[in-house]
Structure 1
Amino acid sequence: MSVKFGVFVPQGWRLDLVEIDNPLAQYEAMTAVARRAEAAAFDSIWVYDHFHTVPTPEIETTFECWSITAGLARDTKTIKIGQMVTCNGYRNPALLAKIASTIDVMSAGRLLCGLGAGWYEHEWLAYGYGFPEIPERMRAFREAVEIIIKMWTEEKPTYAGKHYTINGPINEPKGIQTPHIPLWLGGGGEKVTLKLVAKYAQACNVGGGNPETVAQKLAILKEHCDTLGRDYNAITKSTNINVFMLEKGEDAE
């Protein structure tokens, strides 16, 4: 089993650009990190899909996820580019699939499409999306996954769900990668998310903060794979952690 490493680029969400005043300089700082990661042979770079900063919303820069995904597709040459993860509630899934298809071409087949149900309530409400209860968000998430796969694999797909309906949208080109762009689902929900991973996704990102929780979630994923007849080992599994970079001899405390 091989282990690959990716890195988040600074886009402002975690107040990681506040020491730079000029928006253009902030963007160039983000791009510089992406290029440094590429030169250092990291496998992938990642961006968040958020509009407001954490832990509290501040009047500070936060670059929009898919806009900078497109920019990074042209600012880099070899490294993969993904979102950890796209909030399903912020974009119609058919349009998202179209955006992803275009950027896969722009990146010459380096796109990873991350998707999750969404959680940052303040953002949802501020931007006018409302904030449905978890069961509704999960049902919409399931429908979105199914639509995105259809958009990437069918010529004129149709779908009639509670939250989304499509009637033969044309999506050309569908991207560079075959059979389609890798779909990377985020979250550890055992009944919905991990089952969707087993059925549709090429990869998943499971949080939890400790190896024991991740192992528990992956065991559930394997059960879903066994039930559905999916090869568990064909799915890429990931988690993300915070790493603090110190100068030589500097005390971590």
Structure 2
Amino acid sequence: MGVQLRVFTEPQQGATYDDLLAVALEAERLGFGAFFRSDHYLHMSGDGLPGPTDAWTTLAGLARDTSTIRLGTMMTSATFRHPGVLAIQVAQVDQMSGGRVELGIGAGWFAQEHTAYGIPFPDTRGRFERYAEQLELVTGLWSTPVGELYAFDGQHYQLADSPALPKPVQSSGHRGGVPLLVGGVGKKQTPALAAAYADEFNLPFVDEELTAVQFGRVRRAAEEIGRDPASITWSNALVLCVGGDEAAIARRAAAIGRDVDELRANGLAGTPEEVVAKIRRYGDLGAQRIYLQVLDLADLDHLRLVAAEVMPHV
């Protein structure tokens, strides 16, 4: 079984809904496995114009404007939304898409975006406590049988007499509902939460050595609670910069403000042959999906090149 390629975008850098729709439609036409977007409200470089778009508003639109491609976040920040609201939003977008949504969720990390838009930003411990409660709450709401009530009495969130509606179309998640993605390189909490809740474990922008180590930690955490690690999907996210020759590679690197040598070392960069070889190495470590971080959203030829010269060989 090969490695599935998915498209992953960073719209906080400056993109309209129509920019994202164009990428999603092309990714769908070309046969990529999914279209994912980050969930951020502040640019990390450049001017960010015309400004950010909301992740779940975007996915709701794409749910109606696409027809087959899977849709998701990498990663929704647990600091952005109350978990009850998030469960409703994701379930509704899943309904709107006919069951094509996946929820990537993390603890949140980018302090400046919280300051810029008035979003509370607890300390690291507080964020992870809230994150763990959100994982339990969202899956608990989705998995409560229709007609029954859900309650939760946590340190940060309390729910009573919740009808736990609406339900997603999907119920294939490890704990019911839509598939959940958990990611990160934490040594203890992250593997434990992934083992307990994740349908997919993702590693963002790490090398092959750390991939092997962290996949191993999560496998052991799953085994410790009696879960088969084979029930988890394993994935990596890497920045994409592919070209047919050195000039094309350099042009694409310059367009995203990155150095070619650095991208070759840390991302998926180079000729199609180089990129195929690197994807296969990640596949040998257990990766079943690779999220291709596409930073120049106007360069649809980049996706076409990958679909024609990389995808058939992985």
Q: TM-score scaled by structure 2?
A: 0.73
Q: 1 CA distance for matches of 2:121 and 2:150?
A: 28
What are the superposed Cα offsets for residues 136-190 of structure 1, whole Å, 9 maximum, x if unpaired? 1111110110001111101321111111111122233311112421111122222
Q: Cα offset for 1:113?
A: 0.8
Structure 1 equivalent of residue 227 of structure 2: 230
Q: Is the 8 A contact 2:150 2:164 kept in 1?
A: no
Q: Is the 8 A contact 1:184 1:203 kept in 2?
A: yes
More strand by share: 2
Q: Cα offset for 1:245?
A: 4.1
Q: What letter is aligned with 1:3? A: V
Deviates more, 1:50-59 or 1:142-151: 50-59
1:185 aligns with 2:182: yes
Structure 2 equivalent of residue 90 of structure 1: 80
Structure 1 equivalent of residue 105 of structure 2: 115
Structure 2 equivalent of residue 5 of structure 1: 5
Which of 150, 162, 181 is the matching residue for 2:155? Answer: 162
Q: Is the 8 A contact 2:199 2:231 kept in 1?
A: yes
Q: Is the 8 A contact 1:47 1:65 kept in 2?
A: yes
Q: TM-score scaled by structure 1?
A: 0.90
* 3-state DSSP of counterpart to 1:5: strand
The equivalences for 1:66-215 within 5 A come to: 66-154=56-144, 155-178=148-171, 179-215=176-212
Q: Is the 8 A contact 2:13 2:42 kept in 1?
A: no
Q: Cα offset for 1:126?
A: 2.1
Q: Cα offset for 1:214?
A: 1.2
The count of corresponding residues between Structure 1 and Structure 2 is 243
Structure 1: gaps of 5 or more residues: 18-25
Give the % identical residues: 32
Q: 2 CA distance for matches of 1:238 and 1:128?
A: 33
Q: Cα offset for 1:87?
A: 0.3
* 3-state DSSP of counterpart to 1:168: strand
Which of 58, 63, 66 is the matching residue for 2:53? Answer: 63
Q: Cα offset for 1:10?
A: 5.7
Q: Cα offset for 1:2?
A: 3.7
Q: Is the 8 A contact 2:35 2:70 kept in 1?
A: yes
